[in-house]
Structure 1
């Protein structure tokens, strides 16, 4: 038996786990008491990077982004002195390609939702009457009643506000799918409306797009290095088999290698299905854990393309092909690559419909879509391409899921939950993960079990 005296054990070294550890440190917990157990040999959780053997380029498993409203994630990077990790657009500016022409979703320095007014008035993909209905419908996001709207789909609610099917597809669904990883007809109106309110209704500053300028894995490794330098312990390739519970109280963790970690304070930051696997059988069927089993996964499809010449002059653009795709100039975002405009990253959210496509069919389709939007890509030679699936990218925020997402505090004394799938009131994203970790740390500190040492 391995004893870690009075330790706080965090299961998972993704961004929820990193945020939990940092929050505990910031509140005065002795770093020697904090232990992170990570199943994989690297940190970052579902936001990791790897080097492509064919090209030697550093690829993320998915093209994550920030918005200006992601203040807790940004603050965490600053506290951990993780530098040069991202940059925010001065103003939101996303070109949108549809049916042979570009228009833009862009901000002006105006208060509240007015920052989007000029762009919506000039949005060429909609008719004048559709633009007017879109503006009128946007007012419904000002005070969304998120929990009450959770029972209906985003599409149905938008239709009730007077939105046309075209406006839903070319504005709300295009942006909403990227945010919630689900199409308007399959996601909760409550979470969608709340997310739009957070990101776009409060002014131009929260709406600015944040683009990562280093591989995500590098940021996570830097963050962990800072924690370790302050005395925190991390153990990689350590698989937690079971949370052991006696008399409704955590008493330790059984590991896959047969060892045992004695602890009475555990923060689980693993995904929802992984949590159900590590809970004792008699607890997995109880509330709030029983509802977690109803949460489904939604995949994201990522395609990396490397051309022989510059084909993209923008940082990013969106297109309505593939039910909505975002194309990033990864060669510019990672300036040391020397691949500005040549190395592209394509993100296709809620990509279930393409699961039966072969990699070659996906690459060919994405290449054709980029060629339609970027004339310089039509004659360029594709040097390399890679398809990267995230089958478990995020939970699917279906109608009715608001109350399935559990709170931090559980009925098991000493067990706290974190992760972007918990009740953060945010969509599944890096910001939600960080907020959940900070919430879990504070909840643990409020419990009787936490003692400052």
Structure 2
């Protein structure tokens, strides 16, 4: 498997992982003029997509995603990648942000207007039914800091502590900031960095009505990843599935290739490790795990997401999506309607519960009953309907947990090993863990390949 090594464009490049970070890296290499036959993608699973894949429900034959992902209008690089790979009809954006919210038996609404900048949120927040008039006015105290967050100063404290410093009550935090923030950051307000939370709200919510629109996928995630990989293969990129990398080969502080399960060696002068942070640590020779660039990754931990796919015998839901304060906060999607499956529209729902640590010890039957009860509380039609299927899908390693101080723990694309680049939604993209962050990380790794690292440590 040796490749020619007579210059940058003749050096063989390995990309470990076929998630969206790896897909983005491969596409970016092609954009930079790297011949496709010099690019090899290695994937340990039998399918692409990383942590955003699909599978079939054996009982009903319906295609389930391992987690319900969404986009915002600000996710421009993911949208660009889909366009350049000619992947069509992947999602649709709401005309304006509009999310019904169920809480304590009543409905409210998070919505925006076509107004400039952060003003697009003002009418909706000042009429948000789940906050008192005083709590709505106090929201304005947070606005200046979110418009220009001081990342260095805010990373040391939790989002919840910072919100309280800015006059937000626990009720306002739970009914607004935590409801939205947990869906974005997969961590509750008292668990996550105020820096990343404020920056995420700035980019995705307050920067304008177009950026804040919710994007809902209209095709299974696995189909999108498969189509992207097929396009790359058609362009000449080599992609090997069921091929696990067990160790990175490093000599004299320079990557020389990878060792595969079974002992085979695969030589390369550049390796893009588009894998989770803990997988990268396992691939490193033990001598390198204490290196400054990699040791900090040990402080990153995981946060789980619980997903439930519920099929009723009749339509119970009319809207595309709504949020509920039940079960610590959940988002409910009219999955069949979004996918265009008219026979199941309003009957087949997808429920996503982020930062689901508190539910990890519960039995599956108990969790299913809680999900069904939460849906029945919000949807009157569900109370008389019969449930035909309730499938729970855990993502124990859904995203990294953006704890206070985690900003500096996220890796840069370049490392102290020459030729070893890292990508993934957990890297230092400035974004929360998301498909957009993954795509940006892959492009950033390839861009860094053209810029020599200023200083290397061995």
Deviation at 1:195, TM superposition (A): 0.3
Structure 1 partner of 2:202: 197
Determine the C-alpha separation between the residues in 2 that align with 1:69 and 1:378: 37
2:264 paired with 1:259: yes
Of 295, 306, 312 in structure 2, the residue corresponding to residue 307 of structure 1 is 312
2:11 paired with 1:3: no
CA contact (8 A) 1:72 1:431 kept: yes
Q: Which 4+ stretches in 1 moved above 4 angstroms?
A: none
Deviation at 1:359, TM superposition (A): 1.1
CA contact (8 A) 1:120 1:135 kept: no
Deviation at 1:406, TM superposition (A): 1.1
Structure 2 partner of 1:438: 443
CA contact (8 A) 1:420 1:432 kept: yes
Determine the C-alpha separation between the residues in 1 that align with 2:254 and 2:342: 51
Determine the C-alpha separation between the residues in 1 that align with 2:182 and 2:71: 15
Structure 2 partner of 1:137: 142
Counterparts of residues 325-364 of structure 1 (less than 5 Å): 325-336=330-341, 338-364=343-369
Of 216, 219, 222 in structure 2, the residue corresponding to residue 217 of structure 1 is 222
Structure 1 partner of 2:184: 179
Determine the C-alpha separation between the residues in 2 that align with 1:337 and 1:190: 43
Deviation at 1:125, TM superposition (A): 0.7
Structure 1 partner of 2:417: 412
CA contact (8 A) 1:153 1:186 kept: yes
Q: How many pairs are equivalent?
A: 447
Structure 1 partner of 2:48: 43
2:22 paired with 1:17: yes
Of 233, 244, 253 in structure 2, the residue corresponding to residue 239 of structure 1 is 244
Of 53, 57, 63 in structure 1, the residue corresponding to residue 58 of structure 2 is 53
Determine the C-alpha separation between the residues in 1 that align with 2:145 and 2:264: 54
Determine the C-alpha separation between the residues in 2 that align with 1:360 and 1:182: 25
Determine the C-alpha separation between the residues in 2 that align with 1:337 and 1:31: 41
Deviation at 1:147, TM superposition (A): 2.3
CA contact (8 A) 1:117 1:135 kept: no
Determine the C-alpha separation between the residues in 1 that align with 2:138 and 2:224: 42
Q: Helix, strand or coil: the match of 2:367?
A: helix
Q: Helix, strand or coil: the match of 2:129?
A: coil
2:156 paired with 1:151: yes
Determine the C-alpha separation between the residues in 2 that align with 1:151 and 1:233: 43
Q: Helix, strand or coil: the match of 1:410?
A: coil
Deviation at 1:138, TM superposition (A): 2.8
Deviation at 1:337, TM superposition (A): 5.7
Q: Deviations over 1:156-204 (max 9, x none)?
A: 0001111111111000000000000000001000000000000011110
Of 396, 419, 434 in structure 1, the residue corresponding to residue 401 of structure 2 is 396
Q: Which consecutive residues of structure 2, in runs of 5 or more, have no partner in the other structure?
A: 5-10, 454-458
Determine the C-alpha separation between the residues in 2 that align with 1:79 and 1:256: 34
Gap change, CA 1:416 and 1:357, over 3 Å in 2: same
Deviation at 1:292, TM superposition (A): 0.1
2:101 paired with 1:102: no
Q: Deviations over 1:84-119 (max 9, x none)?
A: 111101111000000111010011101111111111
Structure 2 partner of 1:367: 372
Determine the C-alpha separation between the residues in 1 that align with 2:433 and 2:59: 31
2:294 paired with 1:295: no
**RMSD of aligned Cα (Å):** 0.9
CA contact (8 A) 1:4 1:261 kept: no
Structure 2 partner of 1:66: 71
Determine the C-alpha separation between the residues in 1 that align with 2:299 and 2:49: 25
Q: Helix, strand or coil: the match of 1:389?
A: strand
Q: Helix, strand or coil: the match of 2:352?
A: strand
CA contact (8 A) 1:38 1:238 kept: yes
Q: Which consecutive residues of structure 1, in runs of 5 or more, have no partner in the other structure?
A: 449-453
Q: Which shows bigger deviation, 3-12 or 311-320? A: 3-12
Deviation at 1:446, TM superposition (A): 3.2
Determine the C-alpha separation between the residues in 2 that align with 1:393 and 1:123: 30
Of 312, 316, 321 in structure 2, the residue corresponding to residue 316 of structure 1 is 321
Q: Deviations over 1:254-309 (max 9, x none)?
A: 10121100111100001000000001111011111001011000000000000011
Structure 2 partner of 1:111: 116
Determine the C-alpha separation between the residues in 1 that align with 2:343 and 2:31: 39
2:175 paired with 1:170: yes
